[in-house]
Amino acid sequence: MNRNYLPRNQIKLICIIPLILLSLATPQVEAQVSQPVTHSVANTQNLLAELNFPNNGTPSGRRKGGGSRDGCPSLSKSITALVPGEETNNTSFLASTVAEYPTIWIYVPELPTNLNSGEFLFQDEQGNNIWRTAIALPRKAGAIGISLPPHPQFALKINKKYQWYFKVYCGAAQKTSDYFYVNASLQRVALTPDMENRLKTAKVREYVVYTNNHIWYDAVTNLADMRRVDPASHVLVEDWTKLLKAVGLAEFAQEPILGRYGSER
């Protein structure tokens, strides 16, 4: 009986071709799906676990205020500038911002009822006032943000250094020279094309990009604003704790963020 047989070399070729195609296709699919996701998560975790905001040189300032002094009552906790600094000598470090109108963050403890008058001063490097305003103090402890008004005369210039003071008067501001205060300095730096691209891809979590580039003021503002919108987020709470811990302010991580306070011109 005659049967149609394929030559052996043709049978081998038919079997081998599908195996070759399968072996070429499978690794490419795995690389596209698994590698970018794993790499992205690892980078974010490592970044926030190893934060570093070094001393950028002069000018420095006073990070905590609230010790006993003539004319002022003792406070349960110090008024504190939420900025990089050194605990041992109560020094605040020069820190960076990319914002024209940055926000300054300060921790205010629960104050005695007779302490209700605050003041904020923003100055150039020579000590000339750029903006000075009375501040309505909170009646409970927490972090407050004070933003520069978005008007051209207050806009920060790139590479220029500035200093700010926050005062809590021990009585009426017009009648006393006794007050608690904290102060710090900042410098506006240029937003590089690389940072700009990374901020676009970061979406709402811009603070990750800012911390990676040691831009303190914008990192803490972005993260504080996000926590106000979503206070129950475990990720944001954890990142806020890591950010404050990195600059020696872990004791304030559990304090509420009261918001950006309005000011009187």
**Whose CA is closest to 131, among 84, 166, 79?**
166
The tens digit of pLDDT for each residue in 32-76 reads 222 222 233 334 455 555 677 878 777 889 999 976 566 788 898
Residue 183 in 3-state DSSP? strand
Residue pair 132/173 in contact (Cβ under 8 Å)? The answer is no
What amino acid occupies position 25? A
Residues 69-87 have pLDDT tens digits of: 667 888 989 999 999 999 8
The domain locations on the chain are 61-264
State what percent of residues in the chain have pLDDT above 90.
60
* β partners of residue 162: 124, 186
| Measured distance CA(190)–CA(33) in Å, rounded | 36
CATH number of 61-264: 2.60.40.10
Looking at residue 150, its amino acid is: P
Which amino acid type is present at position 14?
I
Provide the strand spans (E) within the chain: 61-62, 64-65, 79-81, 85-86, 91-92, 95-97, 103-108, 117-124, 129-136, 142-147, 161-169, 179-188, 257-260, 263-264
**pLDDT tens-place string over residues 80-121:** 999 999 988 899 999 999 999 999 999 999 999 888 889 999
Q: Model pTM?
A: 0.79
183, 62 Cβ separation under 8 angstroms: yes
